């Protein structure tokens, strides 16, 4: 005699939803495990934050050099970090990591920022890609020379 258990549609849907949410939560948690790099020696000079171009270089234990897609910059007295994204060797963007919706500090990812408060998303130039935020983020002009990148804050 075999025993076959039947479940109703509602129980099946609730079980599937819980499983899906578990997978989404796990993937989100694991994606947050990537380390975020903060510039080690930013210098405030003439209303610009100066960071060395070498800050974008990551050296592995084997001595291999890779280029980070972004770094974060914190300065004393600054309310939120600045997300500096590298498009290529001469083009960068700098965005204040303060959500334009309710002011939460944003989470940094490769190419975009997310708000842990209400789920707003912004691209690497500070434009809204997902609400509820409606306004873009505060951005800063960026310039560079062969050794440094300058984030103009004034």
Torsional class of 22: left (φ above 0), alpha (ψ -120 to 50), beta (otherwise): alpha
- For the segment 74-85, the average pLDDT, to the nearest whole number, is 91
- For the segment 47-74, the average pLDDT, to the nearest whole number, is 92
Q: Identify the residue with better confidence: 154 or 21.
A: 154
Residues in the chain: 154
pLDDT of residue 28: 43
CB-neighbour burial class of residue 97 (10 A; exposed 0-12, middle 13-18, buried 19+):
buried
pLDDT of residue 2: 53
pLDDT of residue 60: 86
pLDDT bin (cut points 50, 70, 90) of residue 78 is: confident
Kindly report the backbone phi and psi dihedral angles of residue 102, in degrees, each rounded to the nearest multiple of 5, phi listed first.
-140, 15
pLDDT surpasses 60 at 30: no
Question: What global pTM score does this model have?
Answer: 0.75
- For the segment 39-57, the average pLDDT, to the nearest whole number, is 92
pLDDT of residue 96: 96
pLDDT surpasses 80 at 3: no
Counting residues of the chain whose pLDDT is more than 70, the rounded percentage is: 78
């Amino acid at each position: 005699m075999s025993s076959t258990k039947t479940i109703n549609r509602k129980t099946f849907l609730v079980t599937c939803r819980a499983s899906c949410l578990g997978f989404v939560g796990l993937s989100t948690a694991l994606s947050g495990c990537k380390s975020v790099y903060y510039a080690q020696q930013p210098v405030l000079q003439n209303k610009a934050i100066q960071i060395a171009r070498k800050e974008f270089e990551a050296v592995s234990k084997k001595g291999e050099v890779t280029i980070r897609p972004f770094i974060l910059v914190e300065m004393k007295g600054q309310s939120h970090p600045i997300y500096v994204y590298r498009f290529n060797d001469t083009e960068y963007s700098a965005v204040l990591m303060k959500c334009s919706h309710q002011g939460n500090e944003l989470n940094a990812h490769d190419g975009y920022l997310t708000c842990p408060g209400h789920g707003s998303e912004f691209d690497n130039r500070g434009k809204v890609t997902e609400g509820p935020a409606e306004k873009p983020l505060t951005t800063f002009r960026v310039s560079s020379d062969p050794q440094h990148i300058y984030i103009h804050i004034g």
